[in-house]
Amino acid sequence: MTGISQFCRDVQHEVTVPSDDALSDEEAVRRLCRVDDPVQRQDLLDDLCGDNHQRRDRLASLVEAAKNGNRPLAAFDLSAPGRSKSTVHETPGVPMNLAETPVDSQFSRSPLKQIGNYELTRLVGRGGMGNVFHARDPALDREVALKVPRVEVMLSPDVERRFIREARAAAQLDHPNLVSILQVGSDGPYPYIASQWCDGGDLATWMRKNPQPRDPYDAARFMAAVADAIQHCHGRRIVHLDLKPSNILLVGRDDQTDPRSDLAALHPKVTDFGLARLMDVQLDQTTESMFLGTPLYMAPEQAECRRDLIGPASDVFALGVVLHELATGKRPFDGETLTLVLDQIRSVNVHSTMPLRKLPRDLRTIISRCLQREPSDRYSTAAALCDDLRLFASENPIRIRRVSLGRRFWLWCRRPERITQTGVVTVAIQIAVLSNLYSHYVLMGLGYQVPFSVDNWQFFKETIPVALFPHLPLLINGFRTIRRKRWSVTIGILLSLVFVGALASVLFGAKAAFSAYQGNPLASYVAHLFICCMALVQLIAHLIAIPAAMKESAERGRTAALI
């Protein structure tokens, strides 16, 4: 095995790949080596490691060794014989503190101590595309944050383009709650962006250090400043698309002595415009990544890749997610795997799934309006959100109204579980009706004496056609509806209409349905009235499921178009 091409050929026979959260280092290295593009490899590395920076560095070095070395893959497995596991020290799930992280081992061994006119002092953060260093500008004697592409993605032609795009986007902006860009340049192979240094770290780190409940009015004032900064971006036709706590840096206010202990003492600064897009530039599906944003904070249209809907409303949704996390201490969408998180986002229902009960009603209304599934149901602008947050913080009535009861009912009907519930209702009703038709046969078979006289053979012949249509088709379609088969809701509506119509004709007709009811119209009326009520319940359940069925059909159409 002489290089990366031979190494990849050796592992092409691997067919099954474990899930990201269960991959061993050996399998992770195999999977990373299958990706030739450095940017895509870096994205995969982020998915595999998350906030575990120790494992990220280890896997990156193993992949580099696999590309350049002649050792078999077993040599890269930490569990391989002869390798001491004591040399690996991991702290899973503990992200880097942007304000206080010491120089890591790789940086301390690196000869790179200066880029351009800036002296590098320590590595303070790692992102999907670049590393962020604390640096010093000796000419002006000031601290700066220097963003440099990661070494493993330097060879990609997309790196320079993305850096230039981020710099151009940020250079158009001038707002007190946005990180200021000081200089953009390059030093040999290293392009860099020098920006304002924020000494308070980032909001994600602050929330981990301060898990106690936050004052909702302080949270509203803080997020009003962030929303105002995002509106400034939108006013210049730029959408951020990656707003999250780690992209909100903190600066202590001048009138506060301790900027780290109290939310009211913090001044937010929004940063990282690496995914920013101009509103009038159409997203290119061939060159852009499949997901635009961070899964825990992305809007439903981003999770579903509905690129025609991605815009300012997507940033409003992210603002709502950050506000929810800041006010309650919990993320609205969370899960052990990416799939679970995306499923929660796609079926978002803020009225029933989010822990907002302890918050004031107006703040719950603000968060709920931000986290609506459809972009048209959210705040129309970030400025409108900012105004309501400031009104709430000053204890004045907010302008936005709660979502109307009719709209909430429509959104409730659109949830995919309505289809499954309709199938369960149908199966239960049909089993009950069929059991009622033939229950006396079961009692007679068990030796019980039924309290009425009936010609069993005649009754059986009369009920068989009814059982075969519509009861048996409805029962079968009920199971199809539970499995959410195509057209099952439409078929169920048609059969339910036949069911209700047949019962209505018996109730309002002069002739009894079966010979057993002749001469006893009251018994016939009561029996058929009860079954008719159940048939109406079944029909209503199918009608309620129509919006969910329409939504599911549209999603299948979009999926087929993508394929």
Q: Is 147 annotated as a binding residue?
A: yes
162-to-35, 158, 274 alpha-carbon distances in Å = 20, 6, 7
* Closest among 70, 79, 75 to 24, alpha carbons compared: 79
What residues are paired with 252 via a beta bridge? 266
Across-strand partners of 183? 194
**CA distance linking residue 468 with residue 375, whole number of Å:** 47
Tell me, yes or no, if 242 is annotated catalytic. Answer: yes
String of DSSP letters for 452-511:
S---HHHHHHHHHHHIIIIIHHHHHHHHHHHTT-TTHHHHHHHHHHHHHHHHHHHHHSSS
CB-based contact 115:192 (threshold 8 Å): yes
Measured N-to-C along each axis, helices 38-49 and 53-68 cross at an angle, to the nearest 10 degrees, of 140
* Residue 535 token pair: 């048939």
Q: Is 181 left (phi over 0), alpha (psi -120 to 50) or beta?
A: beta
Active-site option among 25, 228, 242, 387: 242
In sequence order, the β-bridge partners of residue 251 are: 267
Residue pair 416/548 in contact (Cβ under 8 Å)? The answer is yes
- The secondary element (H helix, E strand) that includes residue 433 is helix 417-445
- CA 86 to chain centroid, in Å, comes to 37
How far apart CA 228 and CA 382 sit, in angstroms, is 7
Distance CA 55, CA 49 (A): 6
The answer to whether 145 and 135 have CB atoms below 8 angstroms apart is yes
Backbone angles phi, psi at 542, to 5 degrees: -65, -40
Radius of gyration, CA atoms only, the chain: 31
Is 307 strand, coil or helix? coil
Instruction: Look at residues 392, 374, 230, 383 and name the one whose alpha carbon lies nearest to residue 327.
Output: 392
d(CA 164, CA 420): 49
What does the alpha-carbon distance between residue 257 and residue 255 come to, in Å, rounded to a whole number? 7
Q: Are 270 and 229 in contact, with CB atoms under 8 Å apart?
A: yes
Catalytic residue positions, numbered: 242
Instruction: List the binding residues for ATP.
Output: 147
Instruction: List the binding residues.
Output: 147
